[in-house]
Structure 1
Amino acid sequence: MEKKKSMALLRNLFKYGLPIVLSAWLCYYLYTKVDIEAMKEEISKCNYIWIGIALVISIFSHIFRAMRWSIQLNALNIRTPLNPLVWSIFGTYAINLIFPRLGELWRSIYIAKRQDSQFTTVFGSMVCDRLADTVTVLLLTVSTFFIANSAFIAFGEKYPETYQGILNTISSPWVWGVVVAGALLLVWLFTSRTTNKWVLKVRKAVADLWEGFAVIGRMPHKGRWLLYTVAIWGCYFMQLYLAFFAFPFTEHLGIVAALVTFVLSSVSMGIPSNGGLGPWHIAVIFSLGIYGVGMNQAAAFAMIVWGAQTCLLVLLGLYAFIGIALDKRSVTSKQQQSIN
């Protein structure tokens, strides 16, 4: 028992401690190369009206995400009011600031418990939600490569080891071997005739997970779901693009530069970190550098945009948890009244 507890502790330290250490190290590495006083001077030039408008658009991106998830859940007969879904999205991003990736698990647990639904089914719908984001980023990356391929070539020339590492990962036989082995394991789980209780439990969990994932293929309102996807990512892009107008050194760069910055910063969010702290900054500073923005100026831009977004997520998270607490009290009160 003690050994199991020690192993669980080590796994949690690795899972949640590593992103914190990575974020701290990347920020330290990055900002030791920046003239802090010069960066402060650039920050003083910021027009915060544009930052405020960008933050308002950011709120709408979360609401659209809740509305898109609602379509998937409704197709699973998990009919959830919009408010709890919005709270779950706000809470997810707030939790991810402290524990990367834990927010997605939390929102699945919250909705499953509130609606008295199967957790694995709700979790499967969340996985599908996130997979849609991955596909969107891939499509944006490919499109942007054709629009501004010189930016990606510059990235490969400046960071040849990273660029080659990405190519090696994609073509690695080990990666494809794991994919094939996983597929074969799934086939065995669903075709083998066994009475082993653990295999049966795993089989049911996978089936429930797949149910939540595969619902996108048969759900109604697919057009509206796609429209919400465009709205989500349109808001993401616009909040960054509008931030360009907040600084004199980025307001003239144009939409292509904003698109390159947006795509590379979105890709960087795949690296486990606390709300993008570290990887997001590096991606933004590098992207702006391609278009002639100095290191200190780019660092000021990244610091203000990320800092404002983080403050907003904290506030939205507090609002969400207050809303959830009041909602729980209201539901409990109604249940007691119905009993009486």
Structure 2
Amino acid sequence: MNKLIKKTLKLILPIVLGGFILYWVYRDFDFAKALDVLTHGTKWGWMLLSLVFGVLAQVVRGWRWKQTLEPLGAFPKTGDCINAIFVSYAASLVIPRMGEVSRCGILSRYDDVSFAKSLGTVVTERLVDMLCIGLITGVTVLLQFPVFTLFLEQTGTKIPSLLYLFTSVWFYIILLCGIGVIVLLYYLMRALSFFEKVKGVVLHVWEGIMSLRNVKNIPLFITYTVLIWLSYFIHFYLTFFCFSFTEHLSVLAALVMFVGGTFAVIVPTPNGAGPWHFAIISMMMLYGVNATDAGIFALIVHGIQTFLVVLLGIYGLVVLSFKKKSTAFTA
């Protein structure tokens, strides 16, 4: 019964957290206007072009993942790597961060790739992604430092006084997000403790982590990494041209919001729902977009991009369902 309760909480709490933040952000929102913009005020040509880059980012991530598996003596089909990525993103909508586990399970099932070793390569990917986020953030902060300072002041995270800190609603939203991240880290540590009890698994995971040292074509790996993050950014930036109230925003403005949104999705809610909206709306208002239009932008863009993730996940599952499963499940 306790295990059932824990599993239920792991499923429900992220949804509750995201739902609460969404409710607060959109509690007095004019949804009729958002629907009108969606049906009559959205330039779908730009939106479709944006989605192309969203797909490209996931495809290239599949290519890069295959490259990191090769030093381990694992040679899964390229299509399986890509479809596993598609499914992993969709799985994370149900249980945040579940995708990392699900994609390793897919390759183990269909390509005889060691689950533990592939999990190690995923850890390596995440470390590389963290480095990329750090570099992008550093450059962006240097270029737009006054904007970040103003954002921190208006959201109550730059503390002019303790009184202001505890009376800022935005501070409590950020606090909830921080708690969510801590809970996620707790469950990851619990998972690691479980793996340590399984003989040989940790060694396999470490072997996967160190696979980057033996990647044959480092320039290609770097190219894939740059292309992934460039595609993510273009995927977001092109959505500015979908609406009359955001098409005037600069590349630097998009970069600031991209960084804010990237950190927001770390919070364990389905596809960053709630924290992402809060970050994008708050930052967009700093560039002169009114609260209603910023809310419309966040609602429509996040909704369509999430729908894309769902569609790709379904596509990946359908394609994989026609494949013959491996006769052995490799740990």
Output one character per residue of 1:277-315: Cα deviation in whole Å (capped at 9) or x when no partner: 111111111111110111110111111211111221121
- Higher mean C-alpha deviation, range 28-37 or range 148-157: 28-37
* 1:294 pairs with 2:279: no
Q: Looking at CA atoms only, which structure, 1 or 2, has the larger radius of gyration? A: 1
1:229 aligned to which of 221, 225, 237: 225
* 1:25 pairs with 2:20: yes
Structure 2 Cα separation of the partners of residues 162 and 277 of structure 1: 24
Tell me, what secondary structure is at the counterpart of 1:245?
A: helix
Tell me, what secondary structure is at the counterpart of 2:242?
A: coil
**1:210-229 to 2 correspondence within 5 Å?**
210-229=206-225
Q: Which residue of 2 aligns with 1:110?
A: 106
* 1:271 pairs with 2:257: no
Tell me, what secondary structure is at the counterpart of 1:322?
A: helix
* 1:308 pairs with 2:326: no
Output one character per residue of 1:85-141: Cα deviation in whole Å (capped at 9) or x when no partner: 111011011111112111111111111232223211111111111222222112111
Contact 1:34 1:295 in 2 (8 A): no
Q: Which residue of 1 aligns with 2:4?
A: 9
Cα displacement (A) at 1:158: 1.2
**1:116-155 to 2 correspondence within 5 Å?**
116-155=112-151
Structure 2 Cα separation of the partners of residues 317 and 130 of structure 1: 20
Contact 1:42 1:297 in 2 (8 A): no
Structure 1 Cα separation of the partners of residues 240 and 119 of structure 2: 36
Structure 1 unaligned spans of 5+: 1-5, 169-174, 190-197, 333-340
Which amino acid in structure 2 is aligned with residue 105 of structure 1?
V
1:40 aligned to which of 23, 35, 38: 35
Structure 2 unaligned spans of 5+: 160-164, 166-170, 176-181
Structure 2 Cα separation of the partners of residues 130 and 16 of structure 1: 23
* 1:58 pairs with 2:60: no
Contact 2:110 2:323 in 1 (8 A): no
Output one character per residue of 1:180-206: Cα deviation in whole Å (capped at 9) or x when no partner: xx9xxx9xx9xxxxxxxx998556222
Size of the aligned set, in residue pairs, is 303
**1:75-224 to 2 correspondence within 5 Å?**
75-161=71-157, 201-202=197-198, 204-224=200-220
Give RMSD over aligned pairs.
2.8
Contact 2:195 2:201 in 1 (8 A): no
Structure 1 Cα separation of the partners of residues 74 and 315 of structure 2: 24
Contact 2:195 2:202 in 1 (8 A): no
Q: For the structure 1 residues 199 and 135, does the alpha-carbon distance in structure 2 shift closer, same or farther, using more than 3 Å as the test?
A: closer
Structure 2 Cα separation of the partners of residues 91 and 54 of structure 1: 20
Q: For the structure 1 residues 323 and 127, does the alpha-carbon distance in structure 2 shift closer, same or farther, using more than 3 Å as the test?
A: same
Structure 2 Cα separation of the partners of residues 12 and 39 of structure 1: 35
Q: Which residue of 2 aligns with 1:336?
A: none
Structure 2 Cα separation of the partners of residues 115 and 29 of structure 1: 45
Return the TM-score normalized by structure 1: 0.82
Tell me, what secondary structure is at the counterpart of 1:327?
A: coil
> What is the aligned-residue identity percentage?
33
